[in-house]
């Protein structure tokens, strides 16, 4: 029996853009998308088949071994050792920073066939992660470290925030970055997130800079979810406020 809480991190059903992209490719082309079996990927009929067991789904639980950036050092990946001792690799769907070495993870998936090459592959339905204040870096290095330059250069301070609704997130982002060029707002499973790239400034007293967001966060019912210096920090612990 687990002595920790699971945090829902990814749900394919909520990934509307991915579903739309795959369905569009399947319907409008002959070479792309996913082979219907016989139902269209992620259609109502497809989901009914999954939940009824007509389309078999699988679940593995284990411990995250490593988090890394695959492809050209720009694709978020993690490896895990399941409870049977088998190592597998997966994309860090739902929130790249929540995947941290040593945490428990649970992945539910099905097999699908890519139309492009008839390759059978695993398609993730759900990912849950052990609840923790630990975080990993959210900055992809990219080829030759270009990812660090994009966010402002090595050492740039990056802050992460969580809000309960879209209005609060956007209001906070507008106040801390009136240019709109140094913040990124997105949502996942009912929560709203703001990433703020603190470009152009060197903060000798990092804790004071972090504390400066406190009142604005209270006004917008938000939470601080940690910070990192690009290319410097690899493990981040979320502060209390």
Q: What is the pLDDT of residue 151?
A: 93
* Whether the Cβ atoms of residue 216 and residue 176 lie closer than 8 Å to each other: yes
Tell me the per-residue pLDDT of 3-46, one tens digit each, with 9 for 90 and over: 779 999 999 999 999 999 999 999 999 999 999 999 999 999 99
Q: Do 160 and 111 belong together in one domain?
A: no
Lowest pLDDT segment from 26-40, 69-83, 127-141, 225-239 = 225-239
Mean pLDDT of the chain: 92
137: in domain: no
Query: Residue 209: CA atoms inside 13 Å, Cβ hemisphere, count?
Result: 20
pLDDT tens digits for 191-206?
A: 999 999 998 666 667 7
Say whether both 62 and 153 belong to one domain: no
Same domain, 66 and 159: no
What is the domain-level CATH number for residue 24? 2.40.50.140
Residues 31 and 127 in one domain: yes
pTM for the model = 0.91
More confident residue, 108 or 180: 108
Say how many domains are in the chain. Answer: 2
| Domain boundary, last residue among 131, 157, 175 | 131
Using a 10 angstrom Cβ sphere, with 0-12 exposed, 13-18 middle and 19 or more buried, the burial of residue 38 is exposed
pLDDT (0 to 100) of residue 4: 79
Same domain, 88 and 27: yes
Element (H, E) at 210: helix 206-211
Domain co-membership, 16 together with 125: yes
3-state secondary structure of 54: coil
The token pair that represents 151 in the structure block: 């966010």
Dihedral over alpha carbons 75, 76, 79, 80 (to 10 degrees): -150
Across 202-230, average pLDDT: 88
Pick from 217, 232, 215: which is nearest to 164 by CA? 217
């Amino acid at each position: 029996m687990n002595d920790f809480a699971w945090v829902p991190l990814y749900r394919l059903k909520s990934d509307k853009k991915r579903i739309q992209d795959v369905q569009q490719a399947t319907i409008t082309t002959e070479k792309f998308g996913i082979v219907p079996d016989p139902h269209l990927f992620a259609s109502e009929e497809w989901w009914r088949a999954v939940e009824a067991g007509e389309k078999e789904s699988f679940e593995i639980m284990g411990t995250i071994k490593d988090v890394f950036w695959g492809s050209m050092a720009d694709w978020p990946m993690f490896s895990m050792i399941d409870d049977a001792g088998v190592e597998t690799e997966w994309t860090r769907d739902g929130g790249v920073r929540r995947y941290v070495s040593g945490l428990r993870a649970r992945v539910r998936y099905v097999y699908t066939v890519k139309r492009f090459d008839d390759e059978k592959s695993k398609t993730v339905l759900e990912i849950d992660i052990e609840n923790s204040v630990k975080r990993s870096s959210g900055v992809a290095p990219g080829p030759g470290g270009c990812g660090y330059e994009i966010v402002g250069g090595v050492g740039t301070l990056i802050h992460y925030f969580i809000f309960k609704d879209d209005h609060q997130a956007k209001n906070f982002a507008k106040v801390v970055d009136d240019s709109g060029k140094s913040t990124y707002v997105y949502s996942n499973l009912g929560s709203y997130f703001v990433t703020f790239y603190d470009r152009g400034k060197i903060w000798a007293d990092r804790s004071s800079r972090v504390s400066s967001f406190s009142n604005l966060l209270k006004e917008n019912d938000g939470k601080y979810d940690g910070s990192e210096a690009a290319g410097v920090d690899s493990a981040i612990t979320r502060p209390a406020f």
